[in-house]
Structure 1
Amino acid sequence: MRSSLRLTALVFFFGGCVFPFAALGNEVGITKDIPFVDVTHDGVPVRIQRIQDKENRLVDDFAKTSRPCPPFCIHPMATAPGVETVGELEVLEFLTQEVKVGKGLLIDARMPEWYAAETIPGAVSIPFVIFHKDNPNLENILQVLGATRSGNAGWNFSKARTLILFCNGPWCDQSSRAIKGLLAVGYPANKLKSYRGGMNLWRLLGLTTVVPRKAEAP
């Protein structure tokens, strides 16, 4: 993806007006030309930008350098053959180019309690365990993702959405397991992408996160 060019056009061209970076007041930009990106999360507009406090430090679990391995081992850059690994700028472009128009989904593959605590704006929660081939609900999920049944031959993914999946970071295997589960049922590798940095790198860069709204009791 050629993120810098397309993102610049998306962010700065509001109603035919181009805004100079300095006029927007962000000393800590996403790139030298991009101060923020506007997206929608659960129907609510959210502005993704970096924390402007230049003294800010991580102080929670994402500040840890060491976790027991196994299970929290460092994972390779490539999740599987044909599956692209992306970074933060590619995630932002994906949100504005693919998710916005319904062609893609940013999937938080962590367990629900992680998603409920904090996630990337625009992400939806589909825990990695859902993508196991023996899960009776997998068929419904695949249909939501745009796949259709192709007789006894399995699934037709020609209209399936492109997905970026993430979890807690390079030491977390939840998104990798989700991707491998999708590949096992035939989801095309070229429609799957891995944001390996996950929440750990997103937080380390001071990018905006959201706490999803809890469903109201009936």
Structure 2
Amino acid sequence: MSRARRSFLLSWLLLVAAPCFAEEPDPFPVKITATLPYVDLPRIHQGKDVRLQRNQDIDNVIDFDYSYTSRKCPPFCILPMVLSAGVETIAELEVIDYITRISNNDDSVLLIDSRTDEWLQRGMIPGAVSIPWTSLHHKHTDKKKLLDILEMRFGVVNDDNLLNFQQAKTLIFYCNGNWCGQSPTSIRSLLLLGYPPHKLKWYRDGMQAWAQLGLTTVKPPEVPAPPSEGTQKKLDNPAQEPSP
């Protein structure tokens, strides 16, 4: 057999065999990282398992609620990367690491949604608990309720009105985005009480970035109905939200 004929036959065999060696379709074309398609979180939400992943539809677009680009400033101004000295600003992968710790029964950390009830029905990050900024702000709560949260939720010890933060939890706060003042207000309120800055983490980009990446959200139980158009306008009113 001539060299040319052998070369032609080999090429033909490779062409015919190529489909046999084709890779299987990737069931997770949109991964969290190159090596992490999803994270399974046992009993993370109301005692039920949740798979944290990105939306696998490559044509998916961001939810309408988070599509606004030009909210009035003030009060919805762009926040700095460093909120306060010692308070770490984190992003999605760090948040996912903390959620994984929570799902593995690490009670030394707590992920906190600082938004008011009107926003919760739009979705929360799995593993988060709702503690609105108003619950920690001295103008919107009373001393007893605030101390109850510090002691029962955050692990702070109240010794004759002297707060001991030695065993206090690491708290991760988020709200709607880098224009939203609700989680910064919560963090500043705790700093004024003496909460150690290194135990406070801020997910600056919040729900808008979480939604932009198509990451899993969950609904809290028994939340109010979605606000009407008139209520939505009130939510965008400077009088309704804390200034950053």
TM-score tier (shorter) = 0.7 to 0.9
CA distance in 1, matches of 2:25, 2:135: 46
User: AA paired with 1:181?
Assistant: S
CA distance in 2, matches of 1:190, 1:25: 39
| Alignment equivalent of 2:148, drawn from 140, 161, 179 | 140
User: AA paired with 1:151?
Assistant: D
Say which one has the larger Rg: 2
| Alignment equivalent of 1:74, drawn from 70, 74, 78 | 78
Q: CA deviation at 1:48?
A: 0.7
CA contact (8 A) 1:121 1:210 kept: yes
Worse overlay, 76-85 or 98-107 = 98-107
CA contact (8 A) 2:54 2:215 kept: yes
CA contact (8 A) 2:126 2:216 kept: yes
Corresponding pairs, count = 193
CA distance in 2, matches of 1:24, 1:45: 23
Does residue 170 of structure 1 match 2:178? Answer: yes
Q: In the alignment, which residue of structure 1 is the partner of 2:108?
A: 103
Map of 1:109-124 to 2, 5 A cutoff? Answer: 109-124=114-129
Map of 1:195-206 to 2, 5 A cutoff? Answer: 195-206=203-214
SS in 2 for 1:95: helix
Q: Identity over aligned residues, as a percent?
A: 47
Q: CA deviation at 1:62?
A: 0.5
CA contact (8 A) 1:165 1:195 kept: yes
CA contact (8 A) 1:24 1:35 kept: no
Gaps of 5+ in 1: 1-21
SS in 1 for 2:221: coil
CA contact (8 A) 1:117 1:212 kept: no
Q: In the alignment, which residue of structure 2 is the partner of 1:4?
A: none
| Alignment equivalent of 1:87, drawn from 77, 91, 95 | 91
CA distance in 1, matches of 2:190, 2:124: 22
Worse overlay, 84-93 or 61-70 = 61-70
Q: CA deviation at 1:117?
A: 3.1
CA distance in 2, matches of 1:63, 1:201: 11
CA contact (8 A) 1:42 1:122 kept: no
Are residues 214 and 23 of structure 1, via their aligned partners in 2, closer, same or farther at CA, if it must alter by over 3 Å? farther
TM-score (norm 1): 0.84
CA contact (8 A) 2:175 2:182 kept: yes
Runs of 4+ displaced beyond 3 Å: none
Map of 1:6-21 to 2, 5 A cutoff? Answer: none
TM-score (norm 2): 0.75
CA contact (8 A) 2:102 2:127 kept: no
SS in 2 for 1:117: coil
CA distance in 1, matches of 2:84, 2:40: 31
Q: In the alignment, which residue of structure 1 is the partner of 2:28?
A: 26
Q: In the alignment, which residue of structure 1 is the partner of 2:237?
A: none
| Alignment equivalent of 1:37, drawn from 24, 36, 39 | 39
Superposed CA deviations along residues 171-202 of structure 1, whole A, max 9, x for unmatched, are 10100000000111111101000000100000
Query: What RMSD in Å do the two structures reach over aligned CA positions?
Result: 1.7
User: AA paired with 1:67?
Assistant: R
Are residues 80 and 203 of structure 1, via their aligned partners in 2, closer, same or farther at CA, if it must alter by over 3 Å? same
SS in 1 for 2:121: helix
CA contact (8 A) 1:109 1:165 kept: yes
